[in-house]
Amino acid sequence: MNALTSPPRTAPPHRIDPQRPIIEVQGLTKLFGAQRALADVNLSVPAGNIGLLGPNGAGKSTLIKCLLNLETPTSGTAKVLGVDIRASNRASRERVGYSPEQDCQIPGMAGCEYVTYCGQLSGMPFRVARQRTHEILDLVGMGQERYRPVDTYSTGMKQRIKLAQALVHDPDIVFLDEPTNGLDPSGREHILTLIGSLWRELGVSVIMSSHLLHDIERVCDRVIIIGHGRVLEHDTIAALKSRHRRIVEVAPASERDRFITALTAAGHQVTALSNGRLRLQSDSDSIEWLLDLMRQQGLPPAEIVANPDALHELFIAAISADHGRNP
């Protein structure tokens, strides 16, 4: 089986109503002694690929653990897939997958045995769990390593096996806490491609926690930015970018100096970047003005990238403002 071939689901994709929130949070607060890990978090999260973005120690893992009822909130309420997180409901737990940041394997078990066992813990009959395990291990690219003891795995292999056990029981929503830690570039690309396809091809909603903005932007449609236990931003990535100042980068095919002269004469401050691009700030949400200028001046073709770093700059601004409130 091709490593990126999706295994069959027992129900059609998108069995969750895309119009209904999969997570509802009101006033969620978590204290560890005098330390406030979450502070009055309020969220309504629709189905899809959602990024949970923030620096280390921002409260991302604590929020996930509270939503999974692995930590008891100090105050506030929350629902996952319409079920209160405090309810001891096995049926609702079987609809949720979780890949923690820390290693969670059982030493001495082979990878395929471990994932099969996790499937059984999630309510699957042994034979079904075993068959599904091999499909999922192919999906995450484990190959023959599935027969090795998990305690002999590399960091990247442990990340893959954690993702496999989170998906083996065919959940409706999966929580992934720093899923690309320890992966080499090719492994990272493989896992990010797989994560990005879960909602689009399998109907599995993803909550992916990461401190790496590129990973979030690579696979998610929506982002929650968190800092000091508070939600700083929550919106679609497209909407967040459109709210930020407009930056345009131009990569001329030739005659770079003519571009600089024309843009400067039009009143734009141009910065020449080391990668050959020209960067400037625009007051417009479109690039039509730039295309008009190129036609009028007879400039050669150029690659135009609108707002390339908007999410990064917004993230830095949100975190910086939060540090100002909480030095």
Q: How far apart are CA 172 and CA 13, in angstroms?
A: 10
Judged by average pLDDT, the poorest of 189-198, 240-249, 255-264 is 240-249
- Cα(275)–Cα(251) distance, integer angstroms: 9
Check residue 16 and give its pLDDT: 67
What pLDDT shows up at residue 11?
Answer: 42
Lowest-pLDDT range of 77-81, 295-299, 323-327: 323-327
Instruction: State the pLDDT at residue 192.
Output: 93
Residue ranges and CATH numbers for the domains of the chain are 21-240 (3.40.50.300), 245-306 (3.30.70.870)
Whole-angstrom distance, CA of residue 283 vs CA of residue 167: 45
Give the pLDDT score at 286: 72
Query: Which range, 9-18, 19-28, 82-91, 297-306, is most confident?
Result: 19-28
The CA distance from 107 to 323, in Å, is 41
Mean pLDDT, range 35-56, rounded to an integer: 92
Q: What is the predicted pLDDT for the residue at 15?
A: 58
pLDDT surpasses 80 at 137: yes
pLDDT-derived band at 112 (thresholds 50, 70, 90) equals: very high
Rounded CA gap, 180 and 186, in Å?
11
3-state helix vs strand vs coil in the chain, percent to 5: 40, 25, 35
Q: Please provide the size of the chain in residues.
A: 327
What are the residues whose beta carbons fall under 8 Å from the beta carbon of 186, sequence distance 6 or more?
Answer: none
Q: Cβ of 315: how many Cβ atoms within 10 Å?
A: 23
Q: CA gyration radius for the chain?
A: 23
Coil, helix or strand at residue 40: strand
**Which range, of 129-138, 177-186, 272-281, averages the lowest pLDDT?**
272-281
Whole-model pTM: value is 0.75
Laid out side by side, the sheet with 83-84 consists of 35-46, 21-32, 75-80, 83-84
The 8-class DSSP code of residue 276 comes to S
CA dist 63 and 27 (Å) reads 12
Q: What is the mean pLDDT of the chain?
A: 85
pLDDT of residue 5: 45
Residue 250 has pLDDT above 90, yes or no: no
208 class by beta-carbon count within 10 Å (0-12 exposed, 13-18 middle, 19+ buried) = buried
The stretch 277-300 carries a mean pLDDT of 84
pLDDT given for residue 44 in this prediction: 95
Share of the chain above pLDDT 70, in %: 84
CB 203 within 8 A of CB 174: no
Task: State how far the Cα of 250 lies from the Cα of 262, in Å rounded to an integer.
Answer: 13
Average pLDDT over residues 100-105: 87
